[in-house]
Structure 1
């Protein structure tokens, strides 16, 4: 039997009802199932998650609060290819139509943003990355 720590079913259910984050929901559903003595093997099959990941999540519940178990540690990733000043310029571009910068597009698309960054800074970004930049600026 896998131990989950001192978190009660009621605490886990309350946390589940208070979250909208898909990853947190999945972790809480697994935690509740562990409390109900569902095996890690069965949960792995049911959710398509490797057993090692489930054991990792269980250990996070054991070692800390529910909130800590639901969030991942910050991972900085690769450094930006653009300087902070350049990123600020990109933000300003996005607040105006691309036509203002000599592009034919009437609204910013990932392709248009990639083209502008390439022209202005000689930096190549994938279309997916430019899509994330646009999405983050819209938030």
Structure 2
């Protein structure tokens, strides 16, 4: 059914990423804000007596853009959000309803309750979950 063999750990990790999606969006925003508006001390000591700044980027916009581009954690989080967004947008309304109940609800539901809310069987709900997670893993390029 699926092209690649997925480890149990990867499956759980991707499922956790779906669950933490809203928190990840907040973390991305926080990281970007930290890079764009870094804390700066109110005073600076000049240790560079008589020397130049040959390797220092003077343009603050360019420096900020470089920081955003090089930030590994930010890149990682953005890849996950992009993968989830890509998968979610292609899901049918029924599958999206399952995502909302299973991962984006403030409550933890049993599979029976999830199935009832989505008007499907428990087994079907679990199959849909498996499909969603496997497609997400493929989009991420994980195994």
TM-score, structure 2 as length reference: 0.31
Higher relative contact order (CA 8 A, sep 6+): 2
TM-score, structure 1 as length reference: 0.32
